[in-house]
Amino acid sequence: METAQIPTRTKSSARPLYYPKAHLWLIIPFVITLLGFLPSYWSQFTEAPFRQHLHGLSATAWYLLLIMQPWLYHNRPIHYHRKVGFVSVFIAGGVVFSALLVIPFNFISQMPDVAKYGLSFFDIGACLGFSAAVIMAMLYSRNIAKHSRWMISTVLWALMPAMVRLIYIPLMIATEGNSPLSFPQAANVGVLLMMIVLLWMMYKDYRQEKKIYTAYLLALLFVPFFTLMITPMGTNDWWMTWCDAVLAKGMD
């Protein structure tokens, strides 16, 4: 995803241009997310409970807004971008709130225990990272270079659950339940692919601007951390006890 050379624009307020094709690149994680949740949500849409609809539809709306915003920034007066940005804050809140409603139901899924408890740990970490990225994007709303990267980094936090499902579930189906990769191993493959893309983005930034942006650095450090902790936390007695005592009560 290339960063432009900061030309000014004559059409609408002569603001600097960053990520002029971001709306096209952001379609890729959106499609991955749709495919990743196809078996567990979209194919069972009419039977899904309200909590899943709240999370699935709010996350879909977030992706669509994320795709729309860079296009608006580059092609329409800035007040359109700002109005949609105001709405996106509430959508982001819905994504996090609904995720916290869904997490307890990991414990009645068909996944093995290591995946249930480990994925719950990752999901909580992802909610924290996603929330921090949104907050920082709002704080840097007047600094387009930082704002755009914080917004894009929300994808890195939100994408992993879809990535691991897109890798793991087809393997389980194709092998009739005997996948060559465990759930945590599929998560590791997914995060490796994501980090390769992220490193390439960071390299492009450094080559063109001699900068490493905090938004990408934090994602590079902590998304793999929470992913690698799926197995240790999925078998950790203290964490499993806490989940049973606190998170599982969310189903009551």
pTM more than 0.85: yes
Q: What does 83-135 look like in DSSP terms, one character per residue?
A: HHHHHHHHHHHHHHHHHHHHGGGGGGSSS-HHHHHHHHHHHHHHHHHHHHHHH
Domain range summary for the chain, segments of one domain joined by +? 22-251
pLDDT tens digits, one per residue of 42-54:
988 999 999 999 9
pLDDT for res 178: 83
pLDDT tens digits, one per residue of 186-218:
889 999 999 999 999 999 999 988 999 999 999
Give the residue ranges of the chain where pLDDT is below 70. 1-19, 110, 249-252
pLDDT for res 250: 57
pLDDT for res 252: 56
Q: Which of 105, 61, 113, 112 is nearest to 87 (CA)?
A: 61
pLDDT for res 124: 94
CA-based diameter of the chain, in Å? 61
